Amino acid sequence: MKKILFIAVLSILLVVSCQPSKPTFKLAWSHYTGWEPWAYAQKAGIISKWADKYGISIEVTLVNDYIESINLYTAGEFDACTMTNMDALTIPAVGGVDNSVLIIGDFSNGNDGIVVKNGTTVMDVKEREIKLVELSVSHYLLARALEMNGLSEKDVKLVNTSDADIGSLYLSDSSKTAAIVTWNPILMQVRNAPDTKVVFDSSLIPGEIIDMTVVKADAADSFKKALTGAWYETMAHMQKGHEKYEEAIAFMANTSGATVEEFKQQLETTAMFYNAPEAVSFNNSERLKQTMEYVRTFSFDHGLYAEAKTKDYVGIKFPDASVIGDESNIKMTFDPAYMKMAQDGKL
């Protein structure tokens, strides 16, 4: 009897061991209003549902240090990562990684801003010391604000400051000329401090700070489909009137360290593309090309192209097959194919 039982158990183990394991793919994300949905998608079982549909496994990992998450992705630790359009260009693309913009989730529409004490306009930052994360989208926002108001970076003094410290440093600064550039939720924390005003925010350059999910261009089709399907199911949960709306918002607020009301306020300054057609339309727009021209010029001028001698070093490809930069070195492609599948109900 024991021999028969042993053989039965051994047979089961052999069957299990011979089962092919599912291909596993990894997504990294970091805290930001427009990326909190990935945490909810994981918790609600949406990720596993879509992964199972395509016969794969997807690991979703929170990396608290935003730039580090992109560095890890660039180094090959992850197959997909959340990042802005500027960082996608200047870190993985310039670093030689071939990337595809899988999902355009939103653009900052007030989530990033310039905050000053005892000032009312951008002109009041002249000759001030400004704390910011240098060479980030905050730096880009400042450069655009200065340019639009007849100033340049020569008119201010930049102080590189970690995003982990910038809010507390501003709130504890007793000087009358304190100034910072930052993003939500830090922006929300400091904007109501005494004698404080937001003199410029990203709503004045709409569509230029874009929040995306980027994948390796050669990632499996099944992974791209599963991620896109999971994203838009999550977007449906986030829309008012959906039975899961309150649950989804409450979870994301808690994960981000905000109250429900604060998170809803952050969503108001985030131009979310809740529906795939909106994202596809934005991705296909001529305005996106103009934005990327601004971004690559800023990036090259600020030394973010490493040893490259021209901003044409990296090619950026758009849905109409047009390219800015080197057509023989395309490392960043805006590909709406999978968002269009979601739009057409083909996922």
Q: What pLDDT digit, counting tens, does each position of 139-159 carry?
A: 999 999 999 999 999 999 999
Cα 295 to chain centroid distance, Å, stands at 15
pLDDT tens, position by position, 301-333:
999 998 899 999 999 999 999 999 999 999 999
Q: What type of residue is 3?
A: K
Q: What type of residue is 60?
A: V
Residue 13 included in any domain: no
Of all residues in the chain, the percent with pLDDT exceeding 90 is 87
- Same domain, yes or no: 121 and 96: no
Distance between CA 346 and CA 341 in Å, rounded?
Answer: 5
Cis peptide before 185 (omega within 30 of 0): yes
Distance between CA 263 and CA 117 in Å, rounded?
Answer: 25
| pLDDT beyond 90 at 107 | yes
State the CATH number of the domain containing residue 191: 3.40.190.10
What per-residue confidence (pLDDT) applies to 345? 96
Distance between CA 13 and CA 209 in Å, rounded?
Answer: 52
- Same domain, yes or no: 185 and 217: no
- Same domain, yes or no: 194 and 56: no
Residue 10 included in any domain: no
Neighbours of 96 (CB within 10 A): 11
pLDDT tens, position by position, 26-53:
999 998 899 999 999 999 999 999 999 9
Residue range(s) defining the domain that contains residue 299: 24-108+208-343
Phi-psi region of 207 (alpha: psi -120 to 50; beta: other; left: phi over 0): left
pLDDT tens, position by position, 193-239:
999 999 999 999 999 999 999 999 999 999 999 999 999 999 999 99
| pLDDT beyond 80 at 15 | no
DSSP category for residue 92: I
| pLDDT beyond 80 at 14 | no
- Same domain, yes or no: 195 and 214: no
The two three-digit tokens of residue 267, written as one number? 């969503």
| pLDDT beyond 90 at 252 | yes
pLDDT tens, position by position, 123-138:
999 999 999 999 989 9
pTM: 0.89
| pLDDT beyond 50 at 2 | no
What per-residue confidence (pLDDT) applies to 4? 53
Residue 37 included in any domain: yes
Alpha-carbon distances, residue 181 vs 125, 154, 302 (angstroms): 11, 16, 17
| pLDDT beyond 80 at 1 | no
Distance between CA 167 and CA 174 in Å, rounded?
Answer: 13
